[in-house]
Amino acid sequence: MNETIVGIDLGTTYSAIGVVDSGFPMLLADEEGKRIMPSAVWYGVEGAVEVGRKALRRRELDGLRVVTSVKRYIGRELSAEDREVLQDRDPVEISATILRELKRIAEWRLGRSVGKAVITVPAYFHDGQRNATKRAGELAGFEVLRVLNEPTAAALAYGLDKLADKSRVAVYDFGGGTFDLSLLEMQDGVFQVIATHGDTRLGGDDLDHVVAVKMLEKAGIDEMQVSRELMIRWLGEAERVKCALSANERECFSLPFYEGHSSFSHELSRGEFESWIQPWIARTIACCNKALSDAGMLPSSVDALVLVGGSTRIPAVRAAAEACFQRTADVSQHPDEAIALGATIQAGVMSGAMKKLVLLDVTPLSLGIETLGCLMNVLIPRNTTIPCKAGEMFTNAATGQTAMMLRVLQGERELACDNWELGRVEIAFAPMPKGQARIGVQFRIDENGILEVLARDVKSGRDRILQIQHAAVNVSDESVEKMVSDSVEFAFADMSERVWTEARLKADELLPAVDAALEVGAQWLSEEERERILRAATRVREVMPSKQANALKEAVQELDKATESLAAKIVEQAMEQALPGEWENRQG
Ligand code: AMP
């Protein structure tokens, strides 16, 4: 079974965790059956802590002890006011608490422990914010394998990685606390962010605020006089009404007994709500236009528009984005689950649980070099997650050889000639007896799919490096399929060719050695033993021209066995001769 890697959307207002199971990405629901969890933490007195929906429920009565939107603070300088909101806690620690709860949910659902994760961050996050997010993951007990851009995750969730090279995708992400527009371009099978514009102080929370303020006005309450606790209750109801108006034309804002005997209720229409929020929608569109002009692109050159974030459920928001990019948006995924789903897909690709997406982050075919006998020697097997590294030590096949030509190969076949050659690199070394040169070969593929082949003569430390752009990772689906199906079709013939070549190489080595041993060690052999060796050697010589792989392999094995005790005797004798000499040397 593949190791489990989870995908996590650590969002400003909501977070979610998922895993690829039986080839399908799915988000993991908590005990209440909810797949998204509020990014909220309640810190009670005496160290009590609650996370998610339970923390949010405390907001009504104990709002000051509930921390939300911690993502706004992670990895940044904090002001005194920020510290107050965070109750003097480190945003990394608060985020870790949220991640720990997601980990608990995943482990409870899956019934096993999970240790590795992919976590998403906004495309505009700087290094400090990315590192802080990674640290939060580690603090929660995860090994964070990748910090993935949210728009890339969204595009993966919509399956847009299957678009042609150079396709462009606009990801309009309007969540609870932030707005981002990212323009992505598919390059060599991987999305690159080509422009991003956002507003870290613009989100669904602002829309709740608009509704709450309008309702306070209607109730004749001065906003400045409202306590923080009371405001939290008005905001809670405002959010409920806002969400309801995405589906219904009318909804009643209602707060019975919000203070003593005072109650308030007022019916709102969708039209009214949408007219109030126009300035906020206009700000998102301004970001879109800025990103387009940064990228030097016209709206018409975008190939797909993807909407993510809960606030894109508002019909007026969706209409504005579609008008800006002059196309209908793909809304086939839940807008508030798309990022977590994309993170999960990425995690699935990395764990090997989603084999179909081979182009993205794994080697589609095996990589190796040609070795003696024209065989393929695999260093990085197919479907290895990149980045990756592998190495092996090789030696000279002939005495006096002064260089080794390494052919870098890609493919699944046993014989070098049936695989594809990606490049060659030659490494020189001082002439030496056969088998004594030491040439280290290392393959390294970075996250961009660039393969670097390093060959080093261990004795002199001399290096040769060959770089192969993308060819190692960027292979068309059809060629991969053909190579794999050929390797299956010819598996039998290929394997027998390998067995034969290996046996022949062994025979080439063994036969002259046996002849020499028979001369040196004749005195230790019984007639019977001598005959067994001669018979075995003759058998090897007979079978060699026949090209029968298994017969040759068996003959070589028999010869090896027949000479076992003779070889041991010769070695023993050599040691005896060497040791007294050494003894004398030491004495002297
Ligand atoms: P996100 O951060 O992507 O999870 O988005 C959360 C934001 O989306 C919050 O401000 C929610 O109030 C808002 N939201 C969720 N569902 C809806 C809806 N049906 N209509 C309007 N806003 C929504």
**Residues, the chain, total?**
588
Tell me: the pLDDT tens digits for 468-483? 877 766 777 777 778 8
173 counts as catalytic: yes
Dist. CA 14 → ligand 1 center (Å): 9
Residue 356 in domain? no
Residue 38 Cβ < 6 Å to ligand 1: no
Amino acid at the residue 245: L
Report pLDDT for 362: 63
Section 436-441 average pLDDT: 91
Tell me: the pLDDT tens digits for 213-228? 999 999 999 999 998 8
Report pLDDT for 582: 44
Report pLDDT for 356: 45
Token couple for 137? 């993951």
Domain with residue 15: its CATH number is 3.30.420.40
Which residue range is the domain that position 44 belongs to?
Answer: 5-158+336-351
Residue 581 has pLDDT above 60, yes or no: no
Dist. CA 176 → ligand 1 center (Å): 6
Domain with residue 518: its CATH number is 1.20.1270.10
Mutate to test the pocket of ligand 1, among 8, 9, 12, 13 (most ligand atoms within 8 A of CB): 13
- The model's confidence at residue 588, banded by pLDDT at 50, 70 and 90, is very low
Residue 246 Cβ < 6 Å to ligand 1: yes
Report pLDDT for 329: 93
| Residue in 412, 376, 384 with CA at minimum distance from that of residue 473 | 384
Between 17-21, 175-179, 284-288, 485-489, the lowest mean confidence (pLDDT) is in 485-489
Dist. CA 204 → ligand 1 center (Å): 6
Q: Are both 529 and 398 inside the same structural domain? A: no
Q: Are 270 and 250 in contact (CB under 8 A)?
A: yes
Sign of CA dihedral 56, 61, 63, 65: negative
Point out the ligand 1 atom lying closest to the alpha carbon of residue 207.
10
30 counts as catalytic: no
> What average pLDDT does the chain have?
89
Report pLDDT for 102: 98
315 in helix, strand or coil?
A: helix
- Output the residue whose Cα is nearest ligand 1's atom 3: 309
Report pLDDT for 372: 82
Residue 579 has pLDDT above 70, yes or no: no
Mutate to test the pocket of ligand 1, among 242, 270, 337 (most ligand atoms within 8 A of CB): 242
Q: Are both 219 and 304 inside the same structural domain? A: yes
Q: Are both 293 and 373 inside the same structural domain? A: no
Token couple for 388? 């990756």
- Output the residue whose Cα is nearest ligand 1's atom 14: 310
Mutate to test the pocket of ligand 1, among 208, 270, 336 (most ligand atoms within 8 A of CB): 336
Q: Are both 17 and 66 inside the same structural domain? A: yes
Dist. CA 157 → ligand 1 center (Å): 18
Question: Which residue is it, tokens 């649980």?
Answer: 353
Report pLDDT for 270: 97
Beta-carbon contacts of 192 under 8 Å, excluding residues fewer than 6 positions away, are 184, 185, 186
Residue 122 Cβ < 6 Å to ligand 1: no
Point out the ligand 1 atom lying closest to the alpha carbon of residue 12.
2
Residue 71 in domain? yes
Report pLDDT for 361: 58
Dist. CA 102 → ligand 1 center (Å): 20
Q: Are both 167 and 303 inside the same structural domain? A: yes
Q: Are both 477 and 530 inside the same structural domain? A: no
Q: Are both 151 and 171 inside the same structural domain? A: no
Using CA atoms of 15, 156, 336, 312 in order, give the dihedral in degrees to the nearest 10: 140
Helices of type H across 50-114: 53-57, 59-62, 80-85, 91-110
71 counts as catalytic: yes
Residue 340 in domain? yes
Q: Are both 386 and 472 inside the same structural domain? A: yes
Q: Are both 44 and 124 inside the same structural domain? A: yes
- The model's confidence at residue 276, banded by pLDDT at 50, 70 and 90, is very high
Q: Which of 30, 50, 101, 150 is catalytic?
A: 150
Instruction: Domain count for the chain, please give it.
Output: 4
Tell me: the pLDDT tens digits for 511-554? 888 888 888 888 888 888 889 999 999 999 998 888 888 899 99
- The model's confidence at residue 44, banded by pLDDT at 50, 70 and 90, is very high
Report pLDDT for 6: 97
Q: Identify each DSSP E strand in 31-91 by its residue range.
A: 37-38, 41-43, 49-51, 66-67
